[in-house]
Each structure stands twice: as structure tokens, then as C-alpha cells.
Structure 1
């Protein structure tokens, strides 16, 4: 059983997570997270720890951000968009048990204080921003690093808050370049 409580968006996500692993979940009920849900997440964080596993879309990122701001120290798991999409629908409920297990095996902890290990110039040089193929390169690198896809500014922030080292960054960059991105 996974020690931490996994925060998901809805009932179908809970079903998908329970097919993949033995874990307890808290459902946010979508992006309208109420005060009682935040209280339950805070209590779970204090007692067992929390892993946020939301959909890899705008609404999922919004939920993740709201929880992170109100409940410090959460862990984050990311399912790549390609692994969470079925018939044009994006969501944790569409991910295979293996994709969910992989995401949970690559959990990252958010740190309040962190020095930027990777700077903005590194992102430019790596073609992750200000590059014709920047979005695809960020998506590939985010999947390799297990931090998900986002815009350039948010990607830079995630590299810092999850303390991605220069070595991890360089290894992922080499991998995406080998893939021709």
C-alpha cells in the first residue's frame, strides 16, 4: 500500500488509481475545490503525506496549483498527456495501470526554498523556449524528468522546485536530441 494519500479530481480517477495500486484517495470534485476538501488534504498531508495526481490539462494544472499554494510540501506525480488520452478525452481515468504506477514511481517533492539550478539561459540554449519546436521539446523533457508538460515559465519553475540537477537536465536533453527533437 502507498503510504501517502493520492489527491485526484474525481471518482473515475479513484477507480483508475485503485486498479493500478493499493492506495487511499481524496477527490477534489474538479476545479471547484471547497474549504472542506482543502482541510482534508491538509490533515492527510500532516498525518501521511499527499501525492497530487491530476489530469495533464489546464484544469488539472489549476487544481495542482491551488492545492500546492494551500498545502505546502505536497508530492507531485505526472502522467504524460499521451498516456492519459483516450478518444480525445484527457484524464487520469484514461491512463493504464502501468502509466499510473510509472507516474507514482517518479514522484517529486516540492520545496519551498530552492536556488535555481537551471537558469533561463540554459532553457534557451536547450531549445526549450524561444525555439520553433520548444513546446514539443518541453513535453518530451517533462515526460523524461517526470515533471509533466507546461509553458516555459512554469517549466523553469518546476525544474527549480523539484530540484532537477544539471546532470538530470543534461541527460534528458541528450535523450530528446537522440529522438530527433
Structure 2
């Protein structure tokens, strides 16, 4: 590879890697996300990476631990640092309806001490255009409970932020049944 191609490759890589971190404002200046991070256990998540926040938040919201948690509201409460205040408030009453797991199944999992592993994959389906403050994706959530066939379901999820200099938070989700 000659020097010109090497420098072009490095420059294009740098643009690709930083393109999502900088947002242009209407006056042409750039604003960079300056969020410092989440507290443990989410401290490895970059709050400036919308898809990373969305994926991690969905893993947390659907990260069922029926042996330790009374129901899905406890799971959503554990995800609270990744949720907007409005969505966290909604979770207090509606988290039990967010996924396909019924109260009967949850209770059986508690009694049988079932372990559940949650996997989330952002699909490549069409989605609304990203903006500086909103990102929406279709994700596929898979619950893999010991001794049962995996349960897979789509989730329409949105992360948002007050401005381009702030971090993303899960602000909406809708599970299709």
C-alpha cells in the first residue's frame, strides 16, 4: 500500500469512527457529546453511543432474574440509570406487560430457580432517520430460559437526549406480540 492510500485509509477510518460523536449545529459549528458515563454496572457503556445505550438498556430491561426479582418491574428498576425519568416512571406500572412472559411463567421460573439469559440484536430493518437527539431502532430480543425453547420477540425502541452534547437514554419501547 502506498503512502497516499495509507493516509487516505487512516483519514476515512477516523471520519467513520468519529462521525457519530460529532453533530453539526444549524450555524455549522460542531457539538460533541461530553457525557462522562454511567455508574456501575453500566460503566462500560459509552453514553454517547446511541445504539450501545439502546442495546444495553434492552438487555437490562429484559434481563430477567426470577430467582432474585419479584417480577419484571424489579428488572426495569435495575435498568433505571439507562432510562429517561418518564420511561422509568411508566415501568413501575407497565413493565410486567412489556414482554411475552406472563405472571404464571415468571412464578414457575421463580419456583424452579430458572436461569434466564437475555440477548439483544439491533436489526437492519428500516427505521426513522436519526436526528441529533433521537434514534429509533427495531431490536430482536431473545430470552433463553434453562430447560425451555428460546423466546424471541421484536422491540421498537427509541433513545433520546436533550441535546447533542448529552448522553442517550432509552425513552420508549414497544413490544410486538
TM over 0.5: no
TM-score (norm 2): 0.28
Higher relative contact order (CA 8 A, sep 6+): 2
Larger Rg: 2
Greater strand fraction, Structure 1 or Structure 2: 2
Greater helix fraction, Structure 1 or Structure 2: 1
